[in-house]
Amino acid sequence: MSRPVLATSEEGARPARLDRDRGLVEAARRDPSSFDALYRKYLAQVYSYSYYELRDHHAAEDATERVFMQALAGLPRFEERVDAFIASRPVTAASGSASDMADISTFRVWLFRIARNVVANERRTDRRRPVSPLEDAIGLHAPDDVAETVAAREAGSAAWQAVARLPEDRRRAVILRFVDEMSTAEIASILGRSEGAVRVLLHRALRSVAEDLRRQLS
Amino acid sequence: MPGSATRNARRTERYLDGLVAADERRAAEIPVDTDMDPAIRVAARQLRAGLVRVHPSFRFEEALAARLAAAADRMKAGLPAELPPAAVAGGTLAAFRGTGAAADLGVVGAAAGESAATPSIGLSHSAATVVRGLTDVAARPRRPLIVGGVGVASAAISLGAVYVAWRHSHPTSGRMSRAVRAAHGRASHSGRRGSGVINEILGVVS
Question: Would the CB atoms of B81 and A43 count as touching at under 8 Å?
Answer: no
Alpha-carbon distance of B30 to B20, in angstroms, equals: 10
Mean pLDDT is highest, among A100-104, A142-146, A169-173, for A169-173
Note the helical H segments in chain A. Answer: 22-30, 35-54, 57-74, 84-87, 98-101, 106-125, 135-139, 146-164, 168-174, 184-191, 195-217
The band of B84, judged by pLDDT with boundaries at 50, 70 and 90, is: low
Alpha-carbon distance of B131 to B137, in angstroms, equals: 9
Question: Would the CB atoms of A202 and B9 count as touching at under 8 Å?
Answer: yes
Query: What letter represents residue A91's amino acid?
Result: V
Q: Domains of chain A, with CATH numbers? A: 4-132 (1.10.1740.10)
Task: Decide if pLDDT at A205 tops 90.
Answer: yes
118-177 in chain B: CB under 8 A from chain A? none
Alpha-carbon distance of A209 to B165, in angstroms, equals: 74
A178-215 burial: b if 16+ Cβ within 10 Å, else e: bbbbbbbbbbbbbbebebebbbbbbbbbbbbbbebbee
Q: Per-residue pLDDT tens for B177-202?
A: 778 777 777 766 655 555 555 555 55
Which tops the pLDDT comparison, B123 or B183? B183
- Distance in Å, alpha carbon of B40 to nearest chain A alpha carbon: 6
Alpha-carbon distance of B100 to B92, in angstroms, equals: 20
The band of A131, judged by pLDDT with boundaries at 50, 70 and 90, is: low
Its ipTM equals: 0.75
Q: Per-residue pLDDT tens for A46-55?
A: 999 999 998 8
Q: Identify the closest residue of chain A to B5 by CA–CA distance.
A: A200
A164: chain B residues, CB-CB within 8 Å: none
Task: Decide if pLDDT at A83 tops 60.
Answer: no
Alpha-carbon distance of A186 to A41, in angstroms, equals: 17
Percent of chain A exceeding pLDDT 70 equals 66
The whole-number average pLDDT for the span B92-108 is 45
CB atoms within 10 A of CB A173: 26
Question: Would the CB atoms of A69 and B54 count as touching at under 8 Å?
Answer: no
pLDDT at B127: 43
CA B30, distance to chain mean position in Å, is 51
Instruction: Please tell me the pTM assigned to this model.
Output: 0.60
pLDDT at A39: 96
